[in-house]
Chains A and B, each alone.
Chain A
Amino acid sequence: MTADIEIRNVSKQFGAMTVLDHLSLSIRAREFIVFLGPSGCGKSTLLRMIAGLEAVDSGEIAINNERIDHLPPGKRGIAMVFQSYALYPHMTVRDNMAFGLANIGVPGKVIEARINEAARILEMPHLLDRKPGQLSGGQRQRVAIGRAIVKEPKAFLFDEPLSNLDAALRTRTRIELAQLHQRLQSTMIFVTHDQVEAMTLADRIVVMNNRKIDQIGTPMEIYERPATKFVAGFVGAPAMNFVDATLDRSGKNATARFADGISVQTEIASSQLTDDNYTFGIRSEDVRIVAAGQGNADGVVDVLERLGERTLIYARLGDGQQIVGSDAGNSRVAVGDRIGLAFDGQKSHLFNETGRAWHAREA
């Protein structure tokens, strides 16, 4: 079973505070969608509205073209995995998984078969007779997913399910979730504030900020062509470099000039741009480290972060602004060195005052 989910013009208020403002979104069947955004952006509220745990103040939510926003949670044909797992502590794993099926009158033999199948998929048959208190965090997580699987829902909803796991287990569970999606071919909606989870799991990412959607796109679209300055800064680690710039739009493509006279030739068509003042943005991997005087600008190395396959270099420009560049893993650069920074104009971005982004023409 799988589902198209249509969210049309949905709004939500808590008292006088608007948390979602006329938001629309189409989720295709079998798609793995990730709602990504900072705390308080409304992503969990949107998920809970789909689940039926929060009322929809205005707008519609439909699954397979049938409106569901008036239905109680149990009648929507969806399953949810909570951040805290929300397992019933006094029931065994088996009873936790059976509870929802028993409530809708599924015959005992069918329940048993589904539990056994889910336990096999999640490699946890030996846990079925234990209670949640006897399980580790990772095992509880599996049980929560198992409880969702046995319901054979039209869609799975995940509310930051990895955030209570340690780093190693989080990575492993992430991979298992991706495999589970491939195996079940079910619509999945996953809420997180962790951009790595979003980038690795999603077919499409919905980046939310300040009550609305900033961008919907594939992970690489989001990364390479962020729609707003917020998206550009939120997705990617380290965050994109931003430098205030004035534009020379006399040529075919705009040239960004920084306060201390540094200039970078972009691949962004001048004809698209109307103002002279923009924020210039560039990712660390698009700033190469070269010998002093050989790049667009010179800087002094403040901090080195050796990540193994590459080295992040935090360099301070003449006007005090910090730029993060990327060098080889075995970079010889040391703190205090004077280096040159070469900006890849083809990979640069410009953002206006409202945060709207312009990028180089697609190749």
Chain B
Amino acid sequence: MSATASIEGRAFGDHLLLALVILLSIVMIAPVLWVIGLSLKDNTELMADPNSVFHAPYTLKNYINTVGTSSVFIWVRNSIIVSGGLTLGTLILSSLAGYGFARLNFPGRDVLFVIVLFGLAVPEQAVLVARHQIFSMLKFHNTYQGLILPGLSAPFGVFLMTQYFKAIPKELDEAAMLDNASRLRIFWKVLLPLTLPAQATLGIFTFLGAWNDYFWPLISATRKDMFTLTVGMASTQTNFAQSEGIGFLMAQAVFAGAPILIVYLFFQKYIVTAVSGAAVR
């Protein structure tokens, strides 16, 4: 009797949880559907009645206009180059630094590690003026290196990779040493492949962070052709009166969101693992 009650109780709990999940999913997906809906409506119709999104007629005119006139593709390209370059650079540097901190004995290692970690506590705003000045002197503004370089100082990445390398048993290094492998070969062929879950976690977070970054690109990229997606989109939205209308802006937004959606589709397993923290064990 009590067992039946327990099962019924569990079933009720499951149903409640399911209802909550569905509700939250609707809350999350509604703005996306709203954007897509708006992008498929004629601008004049939307001006007259924003609720027209709920009924026909729908049109692809905004998408055709976006392809023909918008700079969104240039901004997407810039964002891909910046986010991709930053992600690749961060993975390379963090892996090498993490290996060094985890496996090499050199004077001042522990102090240096603490200094690197201290970087986590320094807000970007605190170094902004100095960085701006330096980049001006180096003529790095409005260049890809200007957008990529600041993000390469990634204390979190170094910390994550250091901890991950530390968790790999040293016997593997020793077995490889007995197998006559050089230090570089041990790093490349034995240890690095084992850090793939951590690389995926770090790569995803770095890519998403760079893709969504607005603050530094707003300062460094002042030419329209060097805008990243976030800065470019903001520039059109803040100038709404002179834009092609809300349907056009939403079509831009759909184009802007597509690459990151594709990234998500390919890496969703890793993203879920990364967010749940299960990859870092």
* A contact set with B: CB distance below 8 Å: 51-53, 72-75, 78-80, 82, 84, 86-90, 99-100, 103-104, 147, 151
Q: B177 an interface residue at 8 Å Cβ cutoff?
A: yes
Closest to B175 in A: A86
Q: Which of B171, B176, B177, B189 contacts A84 (CB 8 A)?
A: B171
B174 x A82 contact (CB < 8 A): yes
Q: Which of B174, B180, B189, B194 contacts A89 (CB 8 A)?
A: B194
* B contact set with A: CB distance below 8 Å: 169, 171-172, 174-181, 185, 189-190, 193-194
A99 x B179 contact (CB < 8 A): yes
Interchain residue pairs with CB less than 8 A apart (16) = A51-B174, A53-B174, A73-B178, A74-B178, A79-B178, A82-B175, A84-B171, A86-B169, A86-B172, A87-B175, A99-B189, A100-B179, A103-B180, A103-B181, A103-B185, A151-B179
Docked Cα-Cα span, A142 to B111, in Å, equals 43
A103 x B169 contact (CB < 8 A): no
Closest to A144 in B: B175
A72 x B177 contact (CB < 8 A): yes
Distance between A144 CB and nearest chain B CB, rounded to angstroms = 9
Docked Cα-Cα span, A73 to B178, in Å, equals 5
Distance between A186 CB and nearest chain B CB, rounded to angstroms = 16
Docked Cα-Cα span, A75 to B176, in Å, equals 12
Docked Cα-Cα span, A151 to B175, in Å, equals 13
A74 x B194 contact (CB < 8 A): no
Q: Which of B175, B181, B193, B194 contacts A80 (CB 8 A)?
A: B175
Docked Cα-Cα span, A151 to B172, in Å, equals 17
A53 x B179 contact (CB < 8 A): no
Nearest 4 interchain pairs by C-beta? A74-B180, A100-B179, A86-B171, A86-B175
Residues of B within 8 A of A89 (CB): 194
Q: Apart from A51-B174, A52-B177, what are 13 other A-B pairs with CB-CB below 8 Å?
A: A73-B174, A75-B180, A80-B174, A82-B171, A86-B172, A88-B175, A88-B190, A90-B193, A90-B194, A99-B176, A100-B178, A147-B175, A151-B179
Distance between B160 CB and nearest chain A CB, rounded to angstroms = 19
Distance between A240 CB and nearest chain B CB, rounded to angstroms = 36
Distance between B199 CB and nearest chain A CB, rounded to angstroms = 13
Closest to B169 in A: A84
Docked Cα-Cα span, A80 to B174, in Å, equals 10
Q: Which of B171, B174, B181 contacts A99 (CB 8 A)?
A: B181
Distance between B112 CB and nearest chain A CB, rounded to angstroms = 22
Q: Which of A53, A74, A86 contacts B181 (CB 8 A)?
A: A74
Distance between B181 CB and nearest chain A CB, rounded to angstroms = 5
Residues of A within 8 A of B176 (CB): 88, 99
Distance between B274 CB and nearest chain A CB, rounded to angstroms = 19
Closest to B173 in A: A86
Residues of A within 8 A of B190 (CB): 88
A74 x B175 contact (CB < 8 A): no
A78 x B179 contact (CB < 8 A): no
Docked Cα-Cα span, A103 to B183, in Å, equals 12
Q: Given A89-B194, A90-B193, A90-B194, does the pair A104, B180 have CB atoms closer than 8 Å?
A: yes
Residues of B within 8 A of A88 (CB): 172, 175-176, 190
Docked Cα-Cα span, A73 to B175, in Å, equals 9
Distance between B167 CB and nearest chain A CB, rounded to angstroms = 13
Residues of A within 8 A of B181 (CB): 74, 99-100, 103
Residues of B within 8 A of A53 (CB): 174, 177-178
Distance between A147 CB and nearest chain B CB, rounded to angstroms = 8
Closest to B174 in A: A53
Residues of A within 8 A of B179 (CB): 74, 99-100, 103, 151
Distance between B131 CB and nearest chain A CB, rounded to angstroms = 39
Pick the most buried of B171, B185, B194: most chain A CB atoms within 10 A of its CB.
B171
Residues of A within 8 A of B193 (CB): 90
Distance between B119 CB and nearest chain A CB, rounded to angstroms = 31
Residues of A within 8 A of B174 (CB): 51, 53, 73, 80, 82, 86
Residues of A within 8 A of B178 (CB): 51-53, 73-74, 78-80, 100
Pick the most buried of A72, A84, A103: most chain B CB atoms within 10 A of its CB.
A103
Distance between A118 CB and nearest chain B CB, rounded to angstroms = 15
Docked Cα-Cα span, A209 to B93, in Å, equals 46
Closest to B185 in A: A103
Residues of B within 8 A of A104 (CB): 180
Docked Cα-Cα span, A75 to B177, in Å, equals 9
Docked Cα-Cα span, A173 to B276, in Å, equals 42
Q: Given A89-B194, A90-B193, A90-B194, does the pair A73, B171 have CB atoms closer than 8 Å?
A: no
Residues of A within 8 A of B194 (CB): 89-90
Pick the most buried of B172, B175, B181: most chain A CB atoms within 10 A of its CB.
B175
Pick the most buried of B171, B174, B177, B178: most chain A CB atoms within 10 A of its CB.
B178
Distance between B85 CB and nearest chain A CB, rounded to angstroms = 27
Residues of A within 8 A of B177 (CB): 52-53, 72-74
Residues of B within 8 A of A82 (CB): 171, 174-175
Distance between A146 CB and nearest chain B CB, rounded to angstroms = 13
Docked Cα-Cα span, A341 to B153, in Å, equals 78
Docked Cα-Cα span, A87 to B179, in Å, equals 12
Docked Cα-Cα span, A53 to B176, in Å, equals 11
Residues of A within 8 A of B185 (CB): 103
Closest to A89 in B: B194
Distance between B226 CB and nearest chain A CB, rounded to angstroms = 41
Docked Cα-Cα span, A86 to B177, in Å, equals 12
Residues of B within 8 A of A151 (CB): 179
